[in-house]
Chain A
Amino acid sequence: MSWNDQRVETWVGMLLRIGVLLAAAVVLVGGVLYVMQNKGPRPDYSTFHGEPATFATLRGAAEGIATLEPRSIIMFGLLLLILTPIARVGMCVVGFAFERDKMYVVVSSLVLVILLYSVFFHR
């Protein structure tokens, strides 16, 4: 790995850290609202019944955020978090393209396609 590679990666690493802190901040805001609004008994986590899918869609999240629904805000933060490593792979594609390393443009694009497929289409 050349010195230049390492500089680009350090820069990418910093961006990732910002992404994680941003996601954590959104989750924290949602969390504070959540504990303020849910003072009752804790939800039953002892048997798996699946969370409502409304939180998992962008539209559901957007509607929830507009109405300051705590769980939607938390889920939006989690979505941001899931997107940070994907953004990192995207930046690697660009980095390898700059280095004119065709083989690794293909390799990192393949990883990116698998990730995007898993987040948006896989069932």
Chain B
Amino acid sequence: MNDLWFVVIVGLSSIGAGLLGALSGLGGGVVIVPLLTIAFHVDIKYAIGASLVSVIATSSGAAAAYVREGFSNIRIGMFLEIATTLGALFGAWLTTKAPTEVIGLVFGLVLLYSAYVSLKQKHEEITEHPDQLALWLKLKGDLPLPDGGEQPYVAQRVPIGFGLMWLAGVLSGLLGIGSGAVKVIAMDQAMKLPFKVSTTTSNFMIGVTAAASAGLYLRSGYLAPGLVMPVMLGVLVGSLIGSKLLVRVHVRTLKIVFSLLIIAMGIQMIVNSAMRFR
């Protein structure tokens, strides 16, 4: 395959990855890395670099839309970004040290976990319990309700949420993904924030977390221009189309199909990595 065809095919595949990532809410990164490594035999370190850059593009590109909905909480996001950016620095450093097959193995496990999170039914448990630490840090807000009213909420178990966010940052830096699944778990399950607040605030945070490891990727030679170019442009176009389509498609069915795809890719990556250990 010559370079022109490679660029075109990777670009078209990236449009598909961005589209699926936006429709499923998991982001393009979880699709693009397995796609590049399994289908195009790209070394996972180049794939991670290309994926991370497209994560920044989609997160920043969609920022205006998330804020307009009025659910995201900037203070909660900013406070937790201390944890995610520090984690991302550590994760990006780990990538330069860890062998390819270990990264592949961890990636496969995270794929399986993401599919599980995306399929699980959400149960809402909002609380106004006055957590002293959360109140001191102003980690609270009001959720706009469909009837025009507001439901006040206060974050719970801040240290656990902060720790999980650090882990989300490590995974983002190590694997080149937005790790939105872990971010939502930290806010939704540990901190008991309303689900809509968790998802939109997570989206707001993803680009900032990714930027923290991008600098190291850039200087360590993970960003191959001829590969990143079609991936970044493709994922960006795909996710823009996806966010427009989102209001019209039946998300539940799509989520199941997509999760099965992710599970298949996760198993494939685990098997590939395990075979290289020998």
A positions within 8 Å CB-CB of B:
1, 5-6, 9-10, 12-14, 16-17, 19-21, 23-24, 27-28, 30-31, 34-35, 38-43, 45-53, 55-56, 70-71, 74-75, 78-79, 81-86, 88-89, 92, 101, 103-104, 107-108, 110-111, 114-115, 117-120, 122-123
Partner of A81, one of B64, B70, B86, B232: B232
Contact B100 A110 (CB under 8 A): no
* Majority SS at the chain A contact face: helix
Given that A35-B3, A103-B138 are known contacts, is A43 also in contact with B67, CB under 8 Å in the complex? Answer: no
A34: which B residues are within 8 A, CB to CB? Answer: 7, 225-226, 229
Complex contacts, B6 vs chain A, CB 8 Å? 42
CA A42 – CA B181 in complex, angstroms?
Answer: 34
B1, B60, B216: the one within 8 Å of A118 (CB): B216
Interface residues of B (CB under 8 A from A): 1-4, 6-7, 40-43, 45-46, 53, 56-57, 59-61, 63-68, 70, 72-75, 78-79, 81-82, 85-86, 88-89, 92-93, 100, 137-138, 141-142, 207-208, 210-216, 218-230, 232-233, 236
Contact A111 B78 (CB under 8 A): yes
- Residue pairs across A and B with Cβ atoms less than 8 A apart, 11 shown, are A6-B68, A12-B67, A16-B61, A27-B228, A48-B45, A51-B222, A78-B218, A82-B211, A82-B218, A85-B210, A103-B137
- Residues of chain B within 8 A (CB-CB) of A35 are 3-4, 7
Residues of chain B lying within 8 A (CB to CB) of residue A39: 2-4
Contact B3 A114 (CB under 8 A): no
Which residues on the A side are within 8 Å of B88 (C-beta)?
118
Extra 16 A-B pairs, beta carbons < 8 Å, given A17-B61, A79-B218, A82-B56: A1-B73, A10-B67, A16-B60, A30-B225, A43-B3, A45-B41, A45-B224, A51-B222, A74-B226, A78-B223, A82-B53, A82-B214, A88-B207, A103-B137, A119-B218, A122-B215
Contact A30–B236 (Cβ < 8 Å): no
CB distance from A116 to the nearest CB of B (A): 9
How far in angstroms is the closest Cβ of chain B from A107?
6
B229 pairs with A56, CB closer than 8 A: no
Q: How far is the CB of B211 from chain A (nearest CB, A)?
A: 4
How far is B74's CA from A5's CA once the two chains are assembled, in angstroms?
9
Contact B236 A20 (CB under 8 A): yes
Q: Do the beta carbons of A19 and B60 come within 8 Å of each other?
A: yes
Between A and B, how many residue pairs show CB distances below 8 Å?
216
Contact among B4, B65, B227 for A13, CB-based, below 8 A: B65
**A residues less than 8 Å from B227 (CB atoms):** 43, 45
A30 touches B221 (CB 8 A): no
> A5-B74, A17-B63, A56-B221 in contact; A78/B53 too (CB < 8 A)?
yes
Chain B contacts for A17, CB-based, 8 A: 60-61, 63-64
Are A41 and B3 in contact (CB-based, < 8 A)? yes
Task: Select which of B67, B82, B137 is within 8 A of A6 by beta carbon.
Answer: B67
Assuming the A-B contacts A39-B3, A53-B219, A118-B89, are A78 and B232 also in contact, with contact meaning beta carbons closer than 8 angstroms in the complex?
yes
Kindly state the separation between the CA atoms of A41 and B138 in the bound complex, as whole angstroms.
56
Complex partner residue of B100 from A24, A48, A70, CB under 8 angstroms: A48
Q: In whole angstroms, what is the CA distance A46 to B74 when docked?
A: 41
Asked if residues A1 and B74 are in contact (CB atoms below 8 Å), the reply is yes
A13 to B142, CA, bound (A): 21
Contact partners of A115 in chain B: CB under 8 A:
85, 208, 211-212
Cα–Cα, bound, A31→B237 (Å): 15
Provide the residues of chain A in CB contact with B3, threshold 8 Å. 35, 38-43
A57: nearest residue on chain B (CB-CB)? B219
Question: Which chain B residues border A75 with CB–CB below 8 Å?
Answer: 218, 223, 225
Contact B67 A114 (CB under 8 A): no
Could you tell me if A31 and B207 are in contact, using CB atoms closer than 8 angstroms?
A: no
